[in-house]
Amino acid sequence: MASAVVRKRRLQGLLFISPWLVGFLVFTLYPFVSSIYFSLTSYDVISPPEYIGLENYRNMMADPLVRKALYNTFYYAVFFIPLSTIWGICVALMLNLKVRGMTVYRTLFYIPSIVPIVASSMVWLWLLNPQYGIINGLIYLFFKVPGPGWITDPRLSKPSLILMGLWGIGQTALIYLASLQDVPESLYESAELDGANAFQKVIHVTIPMISPVILFNVIMGLIGTFQYFTQAYIMTGGGPADSTLFYALYLYNSAFRFFKMGYASAMAWLMFLVIFGLTVLTFSLSSRWVYYGGQAR
């Protein structure tokens, strides 16, 4: 009798989660497994896939555009992740001050992060326009010199996208702000008794106490930068001179412009391995700088 009740409850539980199970099997697990097979085939979506073994992976290693796309992506990650971390913490510290109208300031900093990416990309496309953009207009107004080409200049195209990314740092800053609320005031009071100034309190109290949140944002930023696509697709299309051809954008072009679905699947697995390896490396190094409450130093 008891086993019948257990089976009935198990069946009821499975029925309740069946929408999620079906969605997971159809939209996550099946594409995941299929991509492994397609990466070993020559597949153009129209014709049946033809098994070619590791040929896609060999071609990928010899493809100069893959190397260029990896370089662009690593360039963006190396500069954006540290800058976004430092800027996000600085913004959170400012928004944590006890001043009048702070809710207004917090709202203003958070608004850019909820603007749709397509809309913000179009706005920045206008701001960074070399001829009539506001930024170059301000440069000429104050310094009487013509502004740079920004996204039309291969040397400045990636820094321009990094600048745009830092503009939308509100969500990250909000996470840091929430973590700052949990730092005990007694630690700051003890630091003041020891003669610590404001900068020393940030370095020796604030940063260690919010280090788990920093690790979380670094990991999420790492994953996000290797999936960087929409802004480059809308604003530059990978140009000029492939200077913004990020890995995810080249993967998309291979799959949906050139219809090399097998090749794109192999590229996706390379991206997965790179992200996985960097994430594992970050976690393995985190024990040196991440502090968890109650943990002995």
Alpha carbon 261 to chain centroid, angstroms: 24
- DSSP assignment string, 66-79: HHHHHHHHHHHHHH
pLDDT on residue 2: 59
pLDDT per residue over 152-163, tens digit each? 999 999 999 999
pLDDT tier, 66 (very low <50, low <70, confident <90, very high otherwise)? very high
Cα dihedral 229, 76, 226, 56 sign: positive
Rounded to two decimals, the pTM is 0.90
Amino acid at 1: M
Q: pLDDT per residue over 224-241, tens digit each?
A: 999 999 999 999 999 999
**Which domains can be identified in the chain, with CATH numbers?**
63-286 (1.10.3720.10)
What is d(CA 150, CA 139) in angstroms, rounded to the nearest whole number?
13
**Cβ distance 147 to 135 under 8 Å?**
yes
> What is the residue-wise DSSP string for 99-111?
-TTHHHHHHHHHH
